[in-house]
Amino acid sequence: MRSNVFPTWLKWMLISAGLVSLIAVSSLVFLVAGVMSESLRDKPLNPASNNGGGTSAEVNGIKPVIVVEYDEIPITPISDEDTASIPIAEPLPTLTNRDRLTILLMGLDRRPNETYPTRTDTMILLSLDPETNQASMLSIPRDLYVDIPGIGRERINAAYVLGALRNGGEAAGAQLAMDTVERNLGVHVDHYVLVDFNAVVNLIDAFGGLEINVEKTIDDPLYPDMNYGYDPLYIPAGQQTLDGWTALKYMRTRHGDSDFDRARRQQKAMLALREQVLGVGVTGLARRVPTIWDEVKEGIFTDMSLNDILALVNAATELSAESINTGVIDYTYAYSYQTSGGASVLILRTEEVATLIASLFD
């Protein structure tokens, strides 16, 4: 149900411009604050389903898109023999700075007609410290080998899908991913935002494409399509305006470089989109948001209530681009390990990553 109280709506839209300085790809979750009913303020805005029976259930008047089935796990687990032999870093103690608000943004590797939870193709911690008016963005590599609470040792990108399949739904999967990040990286996570491919594509197209400087030519003849085939990708170096699908490919391609480079491209794209969203201005956002939300709400889920969002928005109104600190867990903070079965994983370098975490979140 949408509010028809336009003065309040426009006030919220004005406030929301500051929040976009914190995150861009998931910004529509926050920009819709002005079109939600007063009665939904304390409830999750668009929650993932948490439905153990695998059937569709309506939550707050919103029907979940995914019908979850639990008869198979769509991941390739590391063998028990390998698991016993792989070294693992000691979990970091949780930081005590609880004044921060930290969100785990997860991009889902979900294709059309897939009705089961899928791995998190992207995991980024987004955090705001209202005391210092500083924000932080940390990209977590998908192959990081960690302790998943209640499950055991696995790659970190399996936490969400294992939690969803074993604990009763996608909201449970998001919670387990949050718990896994906190246990291993020592950062308390308050909320989640889940985003799938289509939401990213539609959001970027709604703002006229992604305006970005491509540092080097991308030529990926093996870029995967939505049906597990190939969709060759070529993006020349230089300033480009990428449509939604091409921008998604720019953020996801791994050919010719590493997952770490891909993580840096994702962060660069999010910050570039932030500039575009802010450039539209309050009036432009007020006109566009209801339509855009209708296009992306099927692919964005969060446990944040409207009150949570408004509190975050208020804290972020003065946030500048220069106050956003970024980091990537790369080979400075982790090392590669190959199991006897041929699986490649990353092991945290405890001391080094502790320094990084403290610099971003303490």
Q: How far is it, in rounded angstroms, from Cα 259 to Cα 252?
A: 9
pLDDT on residue 75: 52
pLDDT on residue 95: 74
pLDDT on residue 50: 58
- Tens of pLDDT, residues 319-360: 777 888 999 999 999 999 987 777 889 999 999 999 999 999
181 near 140, Cβ under 8 Å?
A: yes
Would you tell me how many other CB atoms lie within 10 Å of the CB of residue 144? 24
- The chain-wide mean pLDDT, for the chain, equals 76
Q: How far is it, in rounded angstroms, from Cα 197 to Cα 202?
A: 9
| Per-residue burial over 156-175, b = 16 or more CB atoms within 10 Å of its CB, e = otherwise | bbbbbbbbbbebbbbbbbbb
Alpha-carbon distances of 271 from 22, 25, 102, 104, 122, rounded to whole Å: 9, 9, 18, 17, 16
pLDDT on residue 294: 80
Helix (H, G, I), strand (E, B) or coil at 201: helix
Q: What is the 3-state secondary structure (H, E, C) of 228-257?
A: CCECCEEECCEEEEECHHHHHHHHHCCCCC
The residues of the chain scoring below 50 in pLDDT are: 1-43, 45, 52-74
169 near 50, Cβ under 8 Å?
A: yes
- Tens of pLDDT, residues 157-187: 999 999 988 877 888 999 999 999 999 999 9
pLDDT on residue 97: 65
pLDDT on residue 88: 73
* Closest C-alpha to 312, from 130, 41, 42: 130
Q: What is the CA radius of gyration of the chain?
A: 20
In the chain, the percentage of residues whose pLDDT exceeds 90 is: 36
User: What structural domains does the chain harbor?
Assistant: 6-361 (3.40.630.190)
